[in-house]
Amino acid sequence: MLLVALFLGVMLAVQFRLSRDIERTVPIQRVQRLTTQVASARKERDKFQIRVAGLRDELDAVTTQAGLKPLKEKLIQYRIEAGLIPVTGPGVEVSLNDSNTALQPGQNPNLYVLHDEDVLRVLNELRAAGAEVMAINGERLLSTSEVRCIGPTILVNKVRRVAAPFVITAIGEPDTMISALKMRGGVVDTLQQFWGIQVSVKRLNQVTIPAYRGSRVFTHAREVGGGQ
């Protein structure tokens, strides 16, 4: 028993020393440092978001004064166009998922999964059919938004990775958007007939799309005549 206890003590001491040495290695220290920086950046972001919300409340209070109703209405419209506030209205929901077709030997599996270009084609068709506001899996899309392929996922607004199934919600005239999507030889017909992509389109009497949650910084764009 004494030998067993001695052996266990040596093993525990070695394990403790190895764990301590691993924690002191450069990669672990770097990860810990980056984790601390990310946490600090998130706290800073949260403070700025609180500050922005406070300034918006002050602005709303100012625009409620007599004679400023037209200005407030314009402000609300600009906020909608900029994606700063949630919006609601009639629209459609388009669900996209990879094909469930059983592949034959020699077939390329990449042809039967969704890519960013497939999602973009659906978005462009909706825009052409009069979609006023759109979102992917709850992520609000702006005029400056981009959809890029990142491995098996797509990157939306440079900050959020989204994997299939992709759910696109759009506010606009439902019948017009549905007709555009389902036209013969159109985007939905092509995805379903050629590649077996699973697509469903639903009419929604009321859909709510959240506000844009990312950040926007204009470094090079300036008002004409407004700066150097």
Domain range annotation of the chain: 2-62, 86-209
Range 101-121 average pLDDT: 89
Digit-coded pLDDT (tens) for 118-156: 999 999 999 999 999 999 999 999 988 989 998 889 999
pLDDT at 48: 82
Burial category of 195 from C-beta neighbours within 10 Å (exposed 0-12, middle 13-18, buried 19 and up):
middle
Whole-prediction pTM: 0.70
pLDDT at 94: 98
> Counting runs of H as helices and runs of E as strands, what totals does the chain give?
6, 8
Range 34-57 average pLDDT: 82
What is the topology classification, in CATH, of domain 86-209?
Alpha-Beta Plaits (3.30.70)
- C-alpha 216/C-alpha 142 separation (Å) is 11
pLDDT at 220: 87
Least confident of 32-36, 66-70, 95-99, 198-202: 66-70
Count the residues in the chain. 228
Q: What is the DSSP letter of 58?
A: H
